[in-house]
């Protein structure tokens, strides 16, 4: 099953649900039998710890792979009991990568090149980006077939999406012309909050055709699961959060009518 679609989960805002989406979408895909790899590209290592993987300095991790060219295959961790879920963990060493990458040859292509050797082994590779538009995120976008953008349903949700859009357009011009926008996922939606409804409406108006119908609700079980080192479908499979990520997985897997190429193109069409 070597489709090897690489999806970069990015938004330079912190706390919008990137890691939660990476871990839980990956777990849903793996549960359905798709060999799935999560690449933890955040020095905070939240995706790794959400899966119960503790790294220390010296563990072969994303840092060794992209900075020191360690073999990626040797760094992969299998997430028992699910045979189909794998992780490339991050350690604190990755903090230095933003600076250490600067003088290196093909500095934006390091992850892309490293993934080449394992791509065929996986159906999906999900990259969990840090909350910045620095070299790590550029590596994620350069390696990816598409970018998935979680958007938190709160005030200022749209703020920052224009600089993300500029970065995506820059990557398409200079580094990865084939990069598509996978879609925007509304997260932490609060049904009882008028603001949540307004924000969701506004995001859909700005990005017609790019926002998933599935909305991830604010759900306390989703925020508890990482401290148990489990994805939500293992921690509480009947919770609203688990059902929402399963539904999102259905939508993610459904064939798309027209591949969305660029946020800008969509916006221009509307104007
Ligand atoms: P990011 O990776 O974008 O920084 P996270 O996925 O880590 O964001 O989410 C930020 C915080 O919000 C985490 O503590 C996470 O557990 C919590 N969280 C994420 N999604 C939800 C949700 N739908 N409902 C409740 N809490 C959530
Ligand atoms: Mg994160």
Site residues for ligand 1, CB cut-off 6 Å: 14-20, 46, 131, 187-188, 216, 218-219, 222-223, 226, 241
For residues 116 and 270, which has the higher predicted lDDT (pLDDT)?
116
- pLDDT at residue 100 greater than cutoff 80: yes
Q: What percent of the chain has pLDDT over 70?
A: 93
Mean pLDDT for 107-128 is 96
* Domain spans of the chain, in order of start: 5-270
Distance from C-alpha of 42 to C-alpha of 8, rounded to nearest angstrom: 12
Average of per-residue pLDDT across 116-135: 96
Q: How far is CA 147 from CA 18, 143, 185, 205, in A?
A: 11, 10, 11, 20
Report the pLDDT averaged over residues 137-161: 94
- Tell the CATH topology of 5-270: Rossmann fold (3.40.50)
Angstrom distance (rounded) from CA 211 to CA 208:
7
pLDDT given for residue 271 in this prediction: 40
pLDDT-derived band at 270 (thresholds 50, 70, 90) equals very low
Q: Which ligand is nearest to the CA of 14?
A: 1
Q: What is the mean pLDDT of the chain?
A: 92
205, burial (CB in 10 Å: exposed 0-12, middle 13-18, buried 19+)? exposed
How buried is residue 173: exposed, middle or buried, by Cβ count under 10 Å (0-12/13-18/19+)? exposed
Predicted confidence (pLDDT) per residue in 192-249, tens digit: 999 999 999 999 999 999 999 999 999 999 999 999 999 999 999 999 999 999 999 9
> 256 C-alpha vs ligand 2 centroid, how far in Å?
27
Closest CA relative to residue 135, chosen from 165, 112, 160, 161:
112
Give dist(CA 159, CA 213) in Å, integer.
21
């Amino acid at each position: 099953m070597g489709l090897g679609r690489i999806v970069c989960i990015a938004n330079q805002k912190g706390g919008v649900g990137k890691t939660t989406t990476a871990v839980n979408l990956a777990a849903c895909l793996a549960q359905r039998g798709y060999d799935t790899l999560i690449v933890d590209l955040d020095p905070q290592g939240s995706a790794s710890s959400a899966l119960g993987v503790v790294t220390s300095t010296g563990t072969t991790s994303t840092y060794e792979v992209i900075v020191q060219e360690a073999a990626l295959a040797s760094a992969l961790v299998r997430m028992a009991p699910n045979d189909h879920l794998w992780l490339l963990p991050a350690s604190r060493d990755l903090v230095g990568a933003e600076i250490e990458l600067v003088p290196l040859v093909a500095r934006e292509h390091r992850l892309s090149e490293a993934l080449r050797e394992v791509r065929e082994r996986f159906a999906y590779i999900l990259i969990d980006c840090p909350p910045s538009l620095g070299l790590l995120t550029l590596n994620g976008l350069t390696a990816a077939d598409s970018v998935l953008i979680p958007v938190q349903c709160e005030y200022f949700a749209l703020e920052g999406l224009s600089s993300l859009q500029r970065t995506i357009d820059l990557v398409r011009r200079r580094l990865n012309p084939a990069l598509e926008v996978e879609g925007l996922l509304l997260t932490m939606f609060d049904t009882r909050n008028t603001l949540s409804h307004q924000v969701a409406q506004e995001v859909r108006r700005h990005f017609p055709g790019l926002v998933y119908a599935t909305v991830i609700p604010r759900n306390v079980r989703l925020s508890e699961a990482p401290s148990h080192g489990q994805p939500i479908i293992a921690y509480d499979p009947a919770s609203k959060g688990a059902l929402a990520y399963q539904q999102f997985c259905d939508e993610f897997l459904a064939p798309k009518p027209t591949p969305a190429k660029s946020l800008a193109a969509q916006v221009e069409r509307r104007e």
